[in-house]
Amino acid sequence: MIINTAFRLLLTLNATSLLVIIFLVQKGFTLGHFLSGISWLEWTCLLPNFVSYTLYFLAPVASTGASIALSSKLGRDEFVKGQMQSIEHANNSFLPSYLGYFFVALSIQNWETLGFVYGVLFVFTFLSQALYFNPLFLIFGYEFYNITTKSGTSIFIISKFKYKNPDEVSIPIAYRINNYTFIERGH
């Protein structure tokens, strides 16, 4: 239970961290800005801005990679062939709402507002427990699917495999993020 909660916190952090990065880039905050008071790191002020922005982006990418690696510690389920009634590719259905975070980040004017908005967004994302859509999974080759089982249960699967037909879905090991969300890491 503790590992599952910690994993869900990490997934929530990964899914919401781009809001902070967009704010930092929009405001022009570089590593030199944050490290200017540390004498042995003063050289960071000489770095081009894109270096800071690239490092900001690589932090949630690395964290997403770590969450994929840690997913093997979650509980396991199995979905046998013929158990699925329907499957819908979900990559594009969540991008519009996720892009909304970008527009919110662009309109935030100060640190206090960022803290409040990020806190509210983080709490709602964590408590919703329905989906852990993170577009950074796409970088690692994962796809998102809404699947309905023959018993009528709707589940969300994050998978390395490309499914088109519900009859081809056979998942020997699906790691359970919550009761409705699973990750299939591959064989």
**Per-residue pLDDT in tens (0 to 9) along the chain, 187 residues:** 677 788 888 888 888 888 899 999 999 998 887 777 777 777 777 788 899 899 999 999 999 999 999 888 888 999 888 888 889 888 777 677 677 777 888 889 999 999 999 999 889 888 875 556 678 888 999 988 999 988 888 888 999 988 888 888 888 999 988 888 899 987 5
CA dist 24 → 50, 55, 85, 102, 175 (Å): 12, 12, 44, 12, 34
CA atoms within 13 A on the CB side of 173: 8
